[in-house]
Amino acid sequence: MEAAIREHRRGRPGEDLCGRLHARTKVECVLPDTHYPRPHYALDGTAWHDALCGTCHGGGTRDGDACADCGGVGFALLELSEDEPRPGW
């Protein structure tokens, strides 16, 4: 019976959010964790792609300090080389 209850909880919509933090601004992705490969998206309108940080290998720290490349979240921003103009930057 307990297993069945757990299954039910896991399947509840809106529970499994991505929650990934933006490496620079620390805004939180509010999309369900099934949003891949679409970019992360925060409530303030920020959208971004990221990947496991190559400097700290996802650990978020280097030599005991927060990793500078990813800001301690373990993921670094991906620079997508698309031909899109960047409005307002």
Interface residue with Zn ion, options 38, 55, 66, 78 (CB under 5 A): 55
Q: Is 32 left (phi over 0), alpha (psi -120 to 50) or beta?
A: beta
Distance CA 19, CA 56 (A): 20
Interface residue with Zn ion, options 29, 42, 48, 50 (CB under 5 A): 29
Q: Which is nearer to Zn ion, 6 or 68 (CB)?
A: 68
Interface residue with Zn ion, options 27, 46, 69, 77 (CB under 5 A): 69
Total Cβ atoms within 10 A of residue 53 = 23
- How many residues bind Zn ion (CB under 5 A)? The answer is 11
